[in-house]
DNA sequence: GAGATATGTGCTTGTCCGAG
DNA sequence: CTCGGACAAGCACATATCTC
C-alpha cells in the first residue's frame, strides 16, 4: 500500500521552467537532463512497486535527518519482517565495475560515483533513525538499476544490485511473503513521514532574475511559446494541444510561484507574465476562483 | 512655510447584461 | 455557463487649497 507518494522535486521543476524561459548553460542543461532522468527512473520504479499486493507500506521520496546528517531515500518499503531500502538509478548504456568503482565503458572511460557509497551511508543513518524510534527490523538495501538499456560488466555477484531483468522477480518475492502489518509498522511509517523535510537544504538553483526571463505562455505539452488564445480555448500552434484559459492561468501561477516564491500574485503580475495574452478580467476571475483573495481592488493579491 | 484638509486622477474590481 | 463590454464604486497617491 502506498503510504507516502512522490512529488516532482522543486529543483527539477525550477530547472524545467527556466529551460523554456532563459538560455541555460551547457552544464545546467546537463544537470537538468540528469535530474529529469533520475526522476523518471524513480517514477518508473513507483509504478512497479504499486502493484505489490502483500501487506506493506510504501514510502517514496524521503528526505530525513539523523545526527545532523541529511539523507535521501528514493523508496522505503516497510514489510512485516523487513525494511527494504531502495536507491533507484536510471543509468543507461555500458559501464564496468572495477575495485569498487564504476566506469563508463565507452572511451574516454570516466568514473561515476558508485551508488553503493550513497546506499551504505543512507542505510547506516536509517538504521540509527530506526533504532531511535525503537524499531529493530532488519534493513535490506538495494540499488535498483531501472533502465533496461543498462549493462554493468564485471559485476561482483555479492553486490546489492537489482538489475532491470530482476526487478519483477524480486517484487514477486515480496508479494508472496506472508505476514501482517501491526500497529507498530503504521506508527513507524507515521513517525518517519513526520520527519520528512520539505525543502532540500542543498538545492542551489542557477541565479535568475525576473526581468531576464522570457514572458508569455508556454504549451504544457511541448513547452513552446506558440499558444493562440481564442475565447476560453488556448491552442498550441505547434502540437495542437488544447488547454482551457482557466487551466493555463493557474498553471502559470504555479510556475511563477515556484520560480519566485516571494512574488505577490495579483491580476497584473499574471497579466504581465502572460504578456497580455489573456484579458485581465479572465485572469482575475480565475484567481478568485482558485485562490484566497487578500485586500480589495488594485490592492488585491492572492494566496493558495 | 508647514501641516491639515479638499479635490482630482489612476487603477482595478463588482455588477449587470448580452452574445456565443 | 463563460466571456467581455459598459458603467459604477472606491482606495491610494498626487496636487491644490486652506489655516495658522
A210 in any annotated domain = no
> Does residue A230 approach strand C to less than 7 Å at its CB?
no
CA atoms within 13 A on the CB side of A175: 12
Q: Same domain for A65 and A165?
A: yes
CA distance A244 to A77: 39
Instruction: Lowest mean pLDDT of A13-27, A62-76, A89-103, A232-246, name the range.
Output: A232-246
Instruction: Lowest mean pLDDT of A1-15, A63-77, A261-275, name the range.
Output: A261-275
What are A63's strand-pairing partners?
A: A72
- Angle of helix A245-259 relative to helix A280-290, nearest 10 degrees? 70
Alpha helices (H) along A106-206? 115-132, 164-175, 183-194
Q: Same domain for A50 and A179?
A: yes
Q: Same domain for A184 and A236?
A: no
Q: Same domain for A91 and A21?
A: yes
A125 in any annotated domain = yes
Range A118-144 average pLDDT: 94
Q: Which residue has the cell 495574452?
A: A277
For residue range A160-217, what is the model confidence (pLDDT) as tens digits? 999 999 999 999 998 888 788 888 899 999 999 999 987 666 666 778 887 788 887 7
Q: Same domain for A94 and A168?
A: yes
List CB-based contacts (under 7 A) with strand B.
A 266-268, 280-281, 284, 288, 293, 296-298, 300
pLDDT reading at A152 higher than 80: yes
Q: Same domain for A167 and A222?
A: no
Give the pLDDT score at A299.
57
DSSP three-state, residue A126: helix
Q: Same domain for A232 and A188?
A: no
Q: Same domain for A56 and A115?
A: yes
Give the whole-number percent of chain A exceeding pLDDT 90.
41
A44 in any annotated domain = yes
A121 in any annotated domain = yes
Highest mean pLDDT pick, A11-25, A96-110, A118-132, A210-224: A118-132
Domain of residue A145: give its range. Answer: 2-194
How distant is C1' of C11 from CA of A252, in Å? 29
For residue range A250-289, what is the model confidence (pLDDT) as tens digits? 788 888 888 887 777 777 777 778 777 776 767 777 777 6
Confirm if A41 and A89 have CB atoms less than 8 A apart: yes
How distant is C1' of C13 from CA of A267, in Å? 20
> Does residue A280 approach strand C to less than 7 Å at its CB?
no
Give the pLDDT score at A222.
78
Joined together, the cell numbers standing for residue A141 give 538495501
Give A245's contacts (C-beta < 8 A, 6+ positions apart): A229, A231, A232, A233, A234, A278, A282, A286
CATH code of the domain covering residue A187:
3.40.91
How distant is C1' of B9 from CA of A268, in Å? 20
Range A242-247 average pLDDT: 71
If one counts the domains in chain A, the total is 2
Q: Which residue has the cell 541529511?
A: A70
How distant is C1' of B13 from CA of A208, in Å? 33
Distances (CA, A) of A177 to A47, A169, A184: 20, 13, 18
A190 in any annotated domain = yes
A200 in any annotated domain = no
Give A71's contacts (C-beta < 8 A, 6+ positions apart): A63, A64, A65, A121, A122, A125, A126
Q: Which residue has the cell 482575475?
A: A284
Give the pLDDT score at A76.
96
Residue A287: nearest nucleotide (C-alpha to C1'): B13
Q: Same domain for A163 and A223?
A: no
Higher pLDDT, A294 or A59: A59
Confirm if A293 and A300 have CB atoms less than 8 A apart: yes
Q: Which nucleotides of B are covered by protein (CB under 7 A)?
A: 10-14
Amino acid at each position: 500500500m502506498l503510504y507516502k507518494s512522490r512529488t516532482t522535486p522543486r529543483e527539477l521543476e525550477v530547472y524545467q521552467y527556466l529551460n523554456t524561459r532563459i538560455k541555460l548553460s551547457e552544464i545546467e542543461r546537463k544537470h537538468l537532463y540528469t535530474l529529469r532522468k533520475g526522476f523518471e527512473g524513480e517514477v518508473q520504479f513507483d509504478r512497479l512497486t504499486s502493484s505489490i499486493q502483500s501487506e506493506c507500506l510504501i514510502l517514496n521520496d524521503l528526505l530525513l535527518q539523523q545526527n545532523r546528517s541529511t539523507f535521501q531515500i528514493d523508496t522505503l518499503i516497510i514489510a512485516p519482517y523487513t525494511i527494504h531500502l531502495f536507491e533507484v538509478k536510471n543509468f543507461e548504456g555500458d559501464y564496468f565495475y572495477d575495485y569498487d568503482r564504476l566506469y563508463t565503458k565507452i572511451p574516454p572511460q570516466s568514473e561515476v560515483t558508485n551508488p553503493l557509497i550513497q546506499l551504505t551511508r543512507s542505510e547506516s543513518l536509517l538504521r540509527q533513525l530506526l533504532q531511535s524510534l525503537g524499531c529493530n527490523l532488519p534493513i535490506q538495501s538495494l540499488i535498483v538499476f531501472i533502465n533496461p538499456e543498462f549493462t554493468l560488466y564485471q559485476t561482483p555477484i555479492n553486490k546489492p544490485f537489482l538489475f532491470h531483468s530482476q526487478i519483477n522477480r524480486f517484487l514477486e518475492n515480496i508479494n508472496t511473503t506472508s505476514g501482517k502489518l501491526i500497529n507498530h509498522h503504521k506508527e513507524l511509517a507515521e513517525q518517519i513521514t513526520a520527519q520528512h523535510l520539505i525543502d532540500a537544504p542543498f538545492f542551489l538553483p542557477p541565479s535568475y532574475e525576473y526581468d531576464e526571463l522570457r514572458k508569455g505562455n508556454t504549451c504544457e505539452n511541448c513547452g513552446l511559446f506558440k499558444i493562440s488564445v481564442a475565447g476560453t480555448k488556448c491552442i498550441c500552434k505547434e502540437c495542437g494541444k488544447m488547454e482551457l484559459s482557466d487551466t493555463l492561468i493557474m498553471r502559470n501561477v504555479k510556475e511563477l510561484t515556484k520560480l519566485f516564491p516571494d512574488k505577490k500574485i495579483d491580476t497584473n503580475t499574471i497579466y504581465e507574465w502572460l504578456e497580455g495574452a489573456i484579458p485581465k478580467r479572465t485572469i482575475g476571475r480565475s484567481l478568485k476562483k482558485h485562490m484566497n483573495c487578500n485586500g480589495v481592488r488594485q490592492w488585491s493579491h492572492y494566496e493558495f
